[in-house]
Structure 1
Amino acid sequence: MVATTDITTADGTVRGLRGRRVSRWRSIPFAAPPVGELRFRAPQPVQPWRGVRDATQFGFAAMQHRNGARIGPRTQQPTGEDCLTLNVTVPNEPAAGPRPVMVFIHGGGYFIGTSALGLYSGARLAVRGDVIVVSINYRLGAFGYVDFSEYSTPANAFDSNLGLRDQVAALEWVRRNIAAFGGDPGNVTIFGESAGAHAVLALFATPAAAGLFHRGISQSPPADWASSPADAKLFAQRCVTELGATATTAAERLRTASANDIRRAVDRAINRILHDQPGLFPGAPLVDGEYLPLSPIDAFASGAAHRVPLIIGTNQDEATLFTRFDDTLPTTPERIHWLLRQSGADAESRVTAAYPGYPSPKAAVRVGGDFTFWRPSLQVMESHSRYAPTYAYRFDFAPRAIQLAGFGATHALDLLPVFGATDTPIGRAMTIAGGQRGLRAVTRQFMDNWLAFARTGSPLPSWPAYTEDRRATWIIDYPPHVAYDPDKTKRLAWQGVRIPALT
């Protein structure tokens, strides 16, 4: 017989599963379903329920291509607009007091992904660190990161920054309810990878998120993603055109079209932009001057970002994953030429000279990864270190099988050690050619530093803070070490390079 456990939240009682080491609640609603009249509207409060709500099974992932919601080799989570839910994992051992809370925001470019991935439950992280792990869904792509507000009418109003607003609503739920699960609402760490890492930085720049979290961890963020009002307007126009609507018919079409029709139209618009303008991604939070007053990069530079501790870093070989599965980054000389000429006549020669062997394929891939992830992360490290404790890292380790496959320390590889997946089937497969001892050591580095940070606001003492004068960077490898201003020549070469505007 499956053991269950009930918790009463502010909205009603939820029934979860009690396992051997942890208890889990799945797909708890943190906002009303954004369907019908609430499509393209800011998240609204949950309607309280009577009785016990089942939270033993996952509901819907956010609307996306079904392959994006894959949660197993042959398993895909159903997708739907009714997706504003979160999951809670709690250690079963009694706690001496309220537990720290770690809220994970999944990646996927803001258009795919789900919190239902087994890795994201954080069970091993929760047990090792005696913390509560929360993983959240938020609206993606067409329903979360396109600003259709210019098409609003008295009968059909549309809001902007919906995905970002969803993330704030989830954190508000944590503040109201996590104490019922034994968590400390005054000790919340947000962490995420890729687009989820960018979401962490966007929340740092969002006034409505003030006080809802107390530290953040940003793993491989494309940190300078942001949509200007002009870019957002042009992108929305292209999406409406793909949907077969005009300015006068857009509101009704957006309200009545099927979710899949809207999703497919926006995916087509995104794919055309990624093909025509490598390095630009249009589906990002909108700098609207109100909900998001400044882009994350500008908020950090001006000191307007929330002044709480931050861990931020990237992987040594970020872009190799994309060349195999998702060719959207500027990783060829042709794409790099187009991109860098947008930043001035000498940008291309200056940057490429810093990469020995360029234009070889390997060097070009490194340029594309550094442009997308490392270059803007440096700006955040520099800026935030002036105002709050900041800790920088670079992840260099890759088991031999991953190296032989040509990936190295690629994008998203860090998720496995962070969540303690060394002894899972995928962890064992990665070390089939050796490297198990190294992977275990790297896993301890990640987990213990992340947990120390979540508990105290500082990683372990061996990791010094980042400052502009020393630029101390924790190199996560086997063995680990601290480097000071690693890849200085490349860092200087990237100065002044920016993402171009949408055309």
Structure 2
Amino acid sequence: MVTDIPTAEGVVRGHRGRRVLRWRSIPYAAPPVGELRFRAPQPVRPWSGVRETTDFGFAAVQHRDGARIGPRYIQPTGEDCLTLNVTAPAAPSSAPRPVMVFIHGGGYVFGTSALGLYSGARLALRGDVIVVSMNYRLGAFGYVDFSEFSTAARTFDSNLGLRDQVAALEWVQRNIAAFGGDPGNVTIFGESAGGHAVVSLFATPAAAGLFHRGIAESPPADWALTADEGRRFARLCLEKLDVAPGDTATALTALSANDIRKGVSRAIGKVLWEQPGSFPIAPVADGDYLPRTPIDAFADGSAQALPLIIGTNRNEGTLFQRFDRSLPTTEEQLHTALTRCGGSELERRVVAAYPGYPARKVAVRMGGDFVFWRPTVEVLAGHSRHAPAYSYRLDFSPRAVRIAGFGATHALDLIPVFGGVDSSVGRVLTAAGGYRGFLAVQNEFQDNWLSFARTGKPLASWPEYTEQRRSTRIMDHPARVEVDPDRTKRLTWEGVRVPALT
């Protein structure tokens, strides 16, 4: 099978895997290095001849452990990371295939599209679709707004990670037809920060027309900074970088990528420690590229009126309680976050909705609901007034995962979505039981995701979400529909927003 594909920028050569064709690390923008550091993505310089795309290039700059893609292999990281991957069924098709573009998570500070699960081979074969996955700039290089420090000689742009995602979608529009895909039928989907990217793209005018529907899995949907918050955090980053005020433009260009990463990591840590519930690495509602925060855009109808699936996992917080303290899952953290959101009265109201608090298990559930479920419900309410919206919640978890105390934790949905129940990871998770149930949940996810990608609607068994009924598909074994699940908790969280960054 020929894997040489002519793109608008030049010919790329992929490789044939088992029943699929793959192209890896195709550049969708110029390397953002040197004078292009902290600048909006620029066009790729066309090349002559054939470009080999059989191996992965760099992951975005991050702590090396975030780019681990195997037990013994960590992907190299670097600023030259603006690439994407394409996976397509090897069998010929008589018509252009639907396209599913995946945006990885990792809190906007770690992750890579090179993770084996994200290749989408099983999803592509099951649904006869083309799967695209992208890298985008992370942390300091993608989500800190240094634009205040632009000079006549050196410009710094805002929302670089978001701009990268738009540039990748523009590449899809230019080139995916050459791979057998339909540029008129593009679904974006992502998990965690990737799910947040999906809701952000709905609110980004530059993304209009580049995709036709979206799936947001476990998005912390009200992460966003105002312009003032973005400036304050950028100044904190410069303080941690020990950059003199009059030397900012020169220093940000000359410092090594790793020095910048480490300095900004110190600034992130300070915010997370002192202001639980706030998260400083997020798009900035600058009034220009991102006119309004995504949560406000959904509320007022200025987000793109396209079909949206959005949902969370029942036990989002357990993963963070065990491995990552960036989310409020302890009594102390929750007290600070809730009182910053609405004072002692809000804290009393929320605590009353979680019987057993402050028991550890209940506090972790509260923290997960606060960060993920609370804003997801707000997106559903706002978007359902203007466009089709579909709500889900993952409740199922294999026995070994429950025994370990995780339940349906954050990111567990990625395994069934990408068809990983029969992978090595899936086999480990189901070694103590639950294989048939997990496989049924995988079928439920994939059948609905693929139906949505083809038609803009999930299966008929999944009704639209409305504010009158709030129908939610419960991903369990068996799956079911519940009307307004956890209504008391929903009403308790109504109107609560993530606390402002000070």
Q: TM-score, normalised on structure 2?
A: 0.99
Does 390-399 or 342-351 show the bigger shift? Answer: 342-351
RMSD (Å) for aligned C-alpha atoms? 0.8
Aligned mate of 1:246, from 238, 244, 247: 244
Cα displacement string for residues 2-21 of structure 1 (whole angstroms, at most 9, x for unaligned residues)? x7621000000000011231
Give the AA of the match of 2:456. G
Matching residue of 2:434? 435
Matching residue of 2:105? 107
Structural mapping, 1:46-57, within 5 Å: 46-57=44-55
Matching residue of 1:321? 319
**1:273–1:280 CA contact under 8 A, matched in 2:** yes
- How far apart are the structure 1 equivalents of 2:76 and 2:192? 23
- How far apart are the structure 2 equivalents of 1:143 and 1:340? 30
Cα displacement string for residues 85-139 of structure 1 (whole angstroms, at most 9, x for unaligned residues)? 0000000111120000000000000010000000000000000000000000000
- How far apart are the structure 2 equivalents of 1:5 and 1:92? 10
Matching residue of 1:267? 265
Partner SS for 2:368: helix
Give the AA of the match of 1:280. S
Matching residue of 1:455? 454
Matching residue of 2:305? 307
- How far apart are the structure 1 equivalents of 2:2 and 2:439? 33
Structural mapping, 1:55-134, within 5 Å: 55-134=53-132
- How far apart are the structure 2 equivalents of 1:135 and 1:498? 31
Count of residues in correspondence between the two structures: 501
Partner SS for 1:453: helix
Matching residue of 1:423? 422
4+ runs of 1 displaced by more than 4 Å?
A: none
Partner SS for 1:439: helix
- How far apart are the structure 2 equivalents of 1:129 and 1:66? 34
Matching residue of 1:389? 388
- How far apart are the structure 2 equivalents of 1:392 and 1:341? 29
Cα displacement string for residues 344-390 of structure 1 (whole angstroms, at most 9, x for unaligned residues)? 33100111111111110011001100000000000000010011110
- How far apart are the structure 2 equivalents of 1:500 and 1:398? 32
Matching residue of 1:414? 413
Percent of counterpart pairs with the same letter? 69
Structural mapping, 1:24-423, within 5 Å: 24-342=22-340, 343-423=342-422
Does 490-499 or 163-172 show the bigger shift? Answer: 490-499
**1:7–1:15 CA contact under 8 A, matched in 2:** yes
Give the AA of the match of 1:490. K
Structure 1 gap segments, 5+ residues each: none
- How far apart are the structure 2 equivalents of 1:19 and 1:330? 43
Q: CA deviation at 1:241?
A: 1.0
Matching residue of 1:478? 477
Q: CA deviation at 1:250?
A: 1.2
- How far apart are the structure 2 equivalents of 1:402 and 1:469? 35
- How far apart are the structure 2 equivalents of 1:397 and 1:20? 30
Q: Does 1:13 align with 2:7?
A: no
- How far apart are the structure 2 equivalents of 1:330 and 1:22? 42
**1:471–1:485 CA contact under 8 A, matched in 2:** yes
- How far apart are the structure 2 equivalents of 1:322 and 1:330? 9
**1:340–1:497 CA contact under 8 A, matched in 2:** no
- How far apart are the structure 1 equivalents of 2:94 and 2:465? 33
Partner SS for 2:245: coil
Does 342-351 or 352-361 show the bigger shift? Answer: 342-351
- How far apart are the structure 1 equivalents of 2:470 and 2:407? 24
Does 323-332 or 298-307 show the bigger shift? Answer: 323-332
Q: CA deviation at 1:500?
A: 1.3
- How far apart are the structure 2 equivalents of 1:96 and 1:310? 28
- How far apart are the structure 1 equivalents of 2:54 and 2:18? 15
Give the AA of the match of 1:288. D
Q: CA deviation at 1:251?
A: 1.0
Q: CA deviation at 1:73?
A: 1.1
**1:105–1:135 CA contact under 8 A, matched in 2:** yes
Give the AA of the match of 1:199. A
Cα displacement string for residues 240-298 of structure 1 (whole angstroms, at most 9, x for unaligned residues)? 11111122111111000000000110011001111111111001000000100000000
Partner SS for 2:463: coil
Partner SS for 1:249: helix
Partner SS for 1:346: helix
Partner SS for 1:218: strand
Matching residue of 1:464? 463
Partner SS for 2:358: coil
Q: TM-score, normalised on structure 1?
A: 0.99
Give the AA of the match of 2:473. W
Partner SS for 1:345: helix
Q: CA deviation at 1:496?
A: 2.5
- How far apart are the structure 1 equivalents of 2:43 and 2:304? 25
Partner SS for 1:460: coil
Partner SS for 2:14: strand
Does 89-98 or 171-180 show the bigger shift? Answer: 89-98
Cα displacement string for residues 305-329 of structure 1 (whole angstroms, at most 9, x for unaligned residues)? 0000000000000010011111111
- How far apart are the structure 1 equivalents of 2:71 and 2:225? 34
Structure 2 gap segments, 5+ residues each: none
**1:151–1:247 CA contact under 8 A, matched in 2:** no
Partner SS for 1:348: helix
Does 381-390 or 338-347 show the bigger shift? Answer: 338-347
Give the AA of the match of 2:172. V
Partner SS for 2:396: coil
- How far apart are the structure 2 equivalents of 1:336 and 1:327? 12
- How far apart are the structure 2 equivalents of 1:502 and 1:472? 34
- How far apart are the structure 2 equivalents of 1:157 and 1:468? 45
Give the AA of the match of 2:126. R
Give the AA of the match of 2:495. G
- How far apart are the structure 1 equivalents of 2:338 and 2:259? 35
Partner SS for 1:40: coil
Partner SS for 1:83: coil
Does 4-13 or 410-419 show the bigger shift? Answer: 4-13
**1:60–1:83 CA contact under 8 A, matched in 2:** yes
